[in-house]
Amino acid sequence: MKLIRIAWLCGWLLACTVGTVAAEDVRKTAEAGMLVTGSIEVNPDGSFHGYTLDQPEKLPPVVVSVIGQTLPTWKFDLSNAAAAVVTTRMSLRVVAKPMGEGNFQVGVQGATFGGRDAQNGPREDVVHSKQMAQPHYPQAAIAARVSGTAYLVLRVGRDGTVQDVIAEQVNLDQYGTQPEMKRYRKWLADASLDVARHWTFNVPSRGSQVNDPFWVIRVPVNFSLGTMGTRPAETPYGSWHAYIPGPRETPPWISKTLANESPDALPDGAVGGGDARLRLVTPLSGA
């Protein structure tokens, strides 16, 4: 963890309601996050071997420094004996939490593993998207200027259809009272669930998971509001994004791999099933 000062403390989060005392209590739970992608290498004994970051020149120096201090302390359990270094993609959620007087504590708070390199096509040994329509933005959320991200966990059957789905976590870009926040999260969760039930996927055609009775994946669904009449701008890689983290609700049928990973460490547009070859056993912040 590192302590830094960020100049944009004031006005960093949008209020949907008048700033009541109860709403301000919720606002104190806000944090600023950044998703950092790359690859990590793990030795056959589960110890750290090395890592690379995507576009490190676009990342704040403090983020590069925190990652560089944290990852070498990590230890993994490997599901099978390995004769060589295991390499896997990773996505990290680096978080800056306000500590008062303009100070923020920065650390790695979430991680997911697996996936594919951006330049490569879909892998045949994991579940990947086939047809995934976008949800309709709830009118109530538009009227209230509510935005955020719903993180879904889906159970996919052998025919590629969705057998079950749950909104595991919903992070919001606005704050209000606790009842208001609950209502905002439900708007985004319900819209995500309605469309996700009709998604279809390509299931593994080779590899260790090919004969599984079903597969469990995680998918983030982002709801962004732009200026009226314009497309919402994507958050540039290496930029901080302020939000209120939502509570996590984990389904009983989630895989051990995904249960051990962080819902909101998955980038928008990704389909994550984790990497069943390894499991992080040390704390995210380091041993």
| Percent of all residues in the chain with a pLDDT value above 70, rounded to a whole number | 83
Domain range for 43: 2-278
Please report whether residue 52 resides in a domain.
yes
* pLDDT tens profile 25-45: 666 778 889 999 999 999 999
Of 124 and 155, the one with more pLDDT: 155
**pLDDT tier, 205 (very low <50, low <70, confident <90, very high otherwise):** confident
Residue 113 has pLDDT above 50, yes or no: yes
Q: For a pLDDT cut of 90, what percent of the chain falls above it?
A: 62
Kindly tell me if the per-residue pLDDT of 22 is higher than 70: no
Q: Looking at the predicted structure, is the pLDDT value of residue 11 above 60?
A: no
Note the pLDDT of residue 99. 76
How many domains are contained in the chain? Answer: 1
Report pLDDT for 234: 67
Cβ-proximal residues to 220 (8 Å cutoff; 6+ apart), any chain: 149, 150, 151, 152, 264, 266, 267, 268, 269, 270
58 in a structural domain: yes
Structure tokens at 183: 């209502």
pLDDT exceeds 60 at position 21: no
Largest CA distance in the chain: 60
pLDDT at 128 over 90: no
Lowest mean pLDDT among 51-65, 96-110, 199-213, 227-241: 227-241
Cβ(272)–Cβ(216) below 8 Å: no
User: What's the rounded Cα separation, in Å, for the pair 140 and 149?
Assistant: 16
Using the predicted structure, report yes or no on whether residue 285 has a pLDDT greater than 60.
yes
Q: 286 in a domain, yes or no?
A: no
Q: What is the pLDDT of residue 27?
A: 63
- Please give the residue that has the higher pLDDT: either 94 or 230: 94
Q: What is the predicted pLDDT for the residue at 30?
A: 81
Res 18: pLDDT:
42
Tell me if 70 is assigned to some domain: yes
Measured CA angle at 223 (ends 222, 227), to 5 deg = 130
Residue at 284 is within a domain? no
- Residue 285 included in any domain: no
Backbone angles phi, psi at 37, to 5 degrees: -110, 160
Answer whether residue 15 is part of any domain: yes
**Does residue 38 sit within a domain?**
yes
